[in-house]
């Protein structure tokens, strides 16, 4: 959520900055609601002042022994008028809040202009894609020999799910543990285990609601709880980790708060029909190791660069070629002020594909959550929130299967990962 004071002060300037990301801010509509709010608020304040004035008059008339009936009659009408005014003010503020919740974040000054991924800017590359002496197979074919099963998943749950058995399940678990170990032991994150089901208000806090409800899975509860507030499956543990500071006032000395968690992620993939239908690139359920930092506003962009490095460290240890992309204004998520994507090389696609996204949301989420800190001088300010994948486990598995495939169907295990698979240098396909 944007700063309401800045919107009131510079609506045209903010509208111009939002236009860079393809969003048209309705300045006239906002100002119309503002005028109505001011009018109702002013009327309410005038009524309150009139009530106070009449109360003094009653005291004076009473001390003089004069008739108070006319004044008392006017005073008696004021509570109803105040209640009506407050109800109207509540309605206006609700409309204003709904408007604010639908406005995306303002891009940081360093974000390049552009409308789509074609306008993103490459920052750097690491590693050299491997040259193969045999025809490259994609992860679906490579994984089939070591336990990757999409047909079984389709029978159980439908499209866009996967079953992992044996060696490939071990590899998936090994990746998860390796990522958590690096983030906690080397990068200073505190590991958390958080709920997979959250309330709608929790998702409002991080910006998925109300605008992106179609991308979520809603759980309808039966029995005695059928009238209760619905719950949603988390699209990422960014939601739960960031909301841990919701409605909290932290000490300045507590910052930064660095949190990580492994969790499944659930996404309906609304609007993505026909995209990446083969394999594990785009699924309804996938696993991720998430990084979240709650940072001081003066140091949040340093924290973002640090988090990009934390994600890069995983890729480098796994010997996976990648590139870092600075997203243009039109390609960023709604809550982000600045985003870097890490894209890993996939030989079968002959392309780089996103494997991590590291975003600085500045105070956008913090305002929605009322997440604040107290400065050394006692002033209360909003924190800045940052999130990033460290990494998406399923896509990392895809990258390993494709980049480390061998002619005989086996998969070589990078040295850093070998301790997590019992020291095995490679995973061999089952004998047929």
Query: Using one digit for the tens of pLDDT, what is the confidence trace for 211-258?
Result: 999 999 999 876 655 567 899 999 999 999 999 999 999 999 999 999
| Contact call for residues 33 and 99 (beta carbons, < 8 A) | yes
CA dist., res. 371 & res. 382, Å (int):
6
pLDDT at position 101, please? Answer: 94
Whether the CB-CB separation of 397 and 170 falls below 8 Å is answered with no
Q: Which long-range contacts (CB under 8 A, 24 or more apart) does 321-324 make?
A: 321/125, 321/126, 321/127, 321/128, 321/129, 321/130, 321/345, 321/403, 322/125, 322/126, 322/127, 322/352, 322/355, 323/122, 323/123, 323/124, 323/125, 323/126, 323/352, 324/122, 324/123, 324/124, 324/125
Closest by alpha carbon to 362, among 375, 351, 371, 352?
A: 371
**Dist CA 357 CA 391 (whole Å):** 9
Give residue 225's pLDDT. Answer: 57
Q: Quote the pLDDT of residue 309.
A: 98
Instruction: Give me the tens of pLDDT residue by residue for the chain, a chain 432 residues long.
Output: 999 999 999 999 999 999 999 999 999 999 999 999 999 999 999 999 998 998 899 888 888 888 988 888 888 999 899 999 899 999 999 999 999 999 999 999 999 999 999 999 999 999 999 999 999 999 999 999 999 999 999 999 999 999 999 999 999 999 999 999 999 999 999 999 999 999 999 999 999 999 999 999 999 876 655 567 899 999 999 999 999 999 999 999 999 999 999 999 999 986 666 677 789 999 999 999 999 999 999 999 999 999 999 999 999 999 999 999 999 999 999 999 999 999 999 999 999 999 999 999 999 999 999 999 999 999 999 999 999 999 999 999 999 999 999 999 999 999 999 999 999 999 998 764
CA-to-CA distance for 322 and 413, rounded, in angstroms? 18
CA gap 203, 84 in Å, rounded: 32
Q: Strand pairing partners for 360?
A: 338, 386
């Amino acid at each position: 959520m944007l700063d309401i004071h800045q919107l009131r002060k510079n609506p045209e300037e903010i509208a111009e900055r939002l236009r860079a990301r393809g969003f048209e801010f309705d300045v006239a509509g906002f100002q119309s609601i503002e005028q109505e709010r001011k009018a109702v608020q002013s009327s309410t304040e005038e009524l309150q002042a009139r009530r106070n004035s009449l109360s003094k008059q009653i005291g004076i008339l009473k001390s003089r022994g004069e008739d108070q009936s006319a004044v008392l009659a006017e005073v008696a009408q004021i509570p109803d008028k105040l209640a009506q005014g407050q109800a109207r003010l509540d309605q206006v503020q609700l409309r204003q809040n709904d408007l604010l919740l639908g406005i995306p974040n303002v891009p940081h000054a360093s974000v390049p202009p552009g409308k789509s991924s074609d306008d993103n800017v490459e920052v750097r590359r690491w590693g050299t894609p491997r040259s193969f002496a045999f025809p490259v197979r994609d992860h679906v074919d490579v994984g089939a020999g070591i336990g990757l099963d999409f047909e079984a998943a389709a029978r159980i749950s439908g499209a866009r799910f996967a079953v992992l058995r044996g060696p490939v399940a071990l590899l998936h678990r090994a990746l998860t543990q390796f990522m958590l170990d690096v983030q906690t032991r080397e990068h200073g994150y505190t590991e958390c285990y958080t709920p997979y089901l959250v309330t709608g208000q929790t998702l409002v806090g991080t910006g998925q609601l109300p605008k992106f409800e179609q991308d979520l899975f809603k759980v309808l509860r039966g029995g005695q709880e059928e009238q209760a507030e619905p719950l949603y499956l988390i699209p990422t543990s960014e939601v739960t980790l960031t909301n841990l500071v919701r409605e909290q006032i932290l000490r300045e000395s507590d910052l930064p708060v660095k949190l990580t968690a492994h969790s499944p992620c659930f996404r309906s993939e609304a609007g993505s029909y026909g995209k990446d239908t083969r394999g594990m690139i785009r699924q309804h359920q996938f696993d991720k190791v998430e990084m979240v930092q709650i940072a001081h506003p003066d140091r949040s962009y340093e924290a973002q660069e640090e988090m990009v490095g934390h994600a890069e460290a995983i890729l480098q240890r796994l010997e996976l070629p990648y590139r870092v992309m600075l997203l243009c204004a039109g390609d960023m998520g709604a809550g982000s002020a600045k985003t870097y994507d890490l894209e890993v090389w996939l030989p079968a696609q002959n392309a780089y594909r996103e494997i991590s996204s590291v975003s600085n949301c500045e105070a956008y989420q913090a305002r929605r959550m009322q997440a604040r800190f107290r400065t050394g001088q006692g002033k209360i300010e909003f924190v800045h929130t940052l999130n990033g994948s460290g990494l998406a486990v399923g896509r990392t598995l895809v990258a390993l299967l494709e980049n480390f495939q061998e002619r005989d169907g086996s998969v070589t295990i990078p040295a850093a990962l070998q301790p997590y698979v019992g020291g095995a240098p490679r995973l061999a396909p089952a004998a047929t």
